[in-house]
Structures are given as C-alpha cells and as structure tokens.
Amino acid sequence: MLIARLIAEPATVADSLAAATRMLADRGMPIAGAGMLEFASHVLELELPGDDKALLRDVLDACFAGSDGLISTRPIKAPRLFVSDMDSTMISAECIDELADFAGLKPQIAAITERAMQGELDFESALRERVGLLAGMPETAIAQCLATRIAPMPGARELVSTLKARGCHTVLVTGGFHSFADPVAAQLGFERVVANRLGVADGKLTGGLVGGITDSGVKRKVLMEESARIGAGAPSLATGDGANDIPMIEAADWGIAYHAKPKARAAADGWIDRGDLTSVLDLLGIPRQAWVIA
C-alpha cells in the first residue's frame, strides 16, 4: 500500500485529483481512498495499492504541479530522528558564497557552488577549491557574515522545536563550516552538529580545512548511526536541497527535498516546492495547535 499526502492550491485540488484518478486508473493503480486529513484539512491523503512510487510520483507531478507532497510505504507519523542539511535548507543562504562576497569573490565561488549542488563536480574538490580562494580573509569576516547575511528559513524554528517536543532527536549535518553551523544550530535548537572546520592562523583564514570532510557519504553515515542508536523501527526524516544530500535523503524513511535541485528532488520521497518548512509538519499530520511557535 502507498500513502501520498499533498498540499496544493485549494482552488485546483478537485480538478487535479480527478485528473490523477483517471491517469492512475489507466495505469492499473486505482485510488483506494482519498480525503482530507482530520487534523490538517488542507492536506489531501491518498491510499493506493502496490508499491510503484515512481509511477505515482510521475502522475502527481503531472497533475499537482507546484505542490508540496510526500509518498510513503508506511504509515506517516512524527519521526524519532531528524537530520537536515543547513545551507539553502535551514538557512536562506550558501555560507561560503556570502563569505566570499566579503572578499569580492562571490561570482567565482558561487559558480563552483552551483555546479557542485547540481552534481556536476566532485564535492570535496569543489569545496577545497572554494576554500582556497578565501586564503588571507580576516577571521572576523565570519562574525560579520553571520550577523548580516545569515537568516533561518521561514518555518525552520517551528519545525525543529515541534519535532523535539514530540521526542525527536535533531541533527544538523552540513558540507559547510562549524563557524556558521554551531551558531545556527544553537539558534534553531539542533542537538548535534556535523560540519567542516576552516583553517585559521594569526587571525586569518589559511585557505585550508582542518580534519576530515563532511561530504555526502558522511551525511548518510550520520543518519544511519543515529538511527541505530535510537533503535530499530524508529522512523527517520531527512531534508536537503542539493546533490550532496541525496544519499542521506535516500537512506531516511522519509527524505524531503526543500525547494531543491532536480537531482535531489527526484531522489526524495517528498518535496516542498510551494510552502515553507512548516509544510513538513503538515505532511506529517501534526496538528497546527500542537506546533511549537518559536
């Protein structure tokens, strides 16, 4: 059995559902049940036989364009583990791009960032190349960048706080840097941070990194380790937006792509194309009166 939940433009839901019903029936996947969630009356839930998530996803994308959605093979409920990317997911910027702006290097670095997020460049090579361009920058630029350029995504505090209130363990794992991730995690309420560390000497960035690289493999490893620690059967949720997040998104029980690049969106169980991060709470079926408003 497949379960799909959708948040779409209210005025078009009926027509979109009718179109999806016809398309699915023609492909041998009739809808077994459809209705709005009791505690989230703007969320449409569908139940369908079988396990062909790819077919269902294609039909929903065709009929509910510009929606937020989630497809699951198990009952959907609040997760026990939440692991999230940071840049362009929990915050509305790419930290290294904004830091580069202080050095007048943003166009060069942003171009490398974009290609890495699209999956066109090896992450570690792209990271080291970008960090190398920052050599000689005063360490104080990090605090300036944090104060003036870095802000939480809409709904980020509500998402993290609400999940924690329901017993969920929260982890921020990023290919960015502890210098940014630690303050962001403290602001949003994440309980653990995994990130890269910039090299600093004599008050300036060295252009190098200290320690291992937090790449896509590390992101997946963190999710798997935390899942094992919490216990078998405890559902996990992951959010991200770029190619570096794909292994983590695929490993989670529910991987949700947030206003994501095409490859990350295609790999995910869920997608937020329309709303903010509180759409995740809606798709999980958590009543709005139970949200923790930060």
How many independent structural domains does the chain possess?
2
The CATH number covering residue 246 comes to 3.40.50.1000
Tell me if residue 282 is catalytic: no
Same domain? For 104 and 189 the reply is: yes
Same domain? For 7 and 123 the reply is: no
51, 52, 58, 87: which one is catalytic?
A: 87
CB distance 203 to 139 below 8 Å: yes
Q: What is the pLDDT along the chain (294 residues), one digit of tens a residue?
A: 999 999 998 888 999 999 999 999 999 999 999 999 988 889 999 999 999 999 999 999 999 988 999 999 999 999 999 999 999 999 999 998 888 888 788 888 888 888 888 888 888 888 998 899 899 999 999 999 999 999 999 999 999 999 999 999 999 999 999 999 999 999 999 999 999 999 999 999 999 999 999 999 999 999 999 999 999 889 999 999 999 999 999 999 999 999 999 999 999 999 999 999 999 999 999 999 999 987
Same domain? For 162 and 270 the reply is: yes
Tell me if residue 85 is catalytic: yes
Same domain? For 85 and 64 the reply is: no
Tokens linked to 199: 């090299």
Same domain? For 289 and 205 the reply is: yes
**Domain boundaries, position 254:** 78-294
The CATH number covering residue 61 comes to 3.30.70.260
68, 85, 97, 282: which one is catalytic?
A: 85
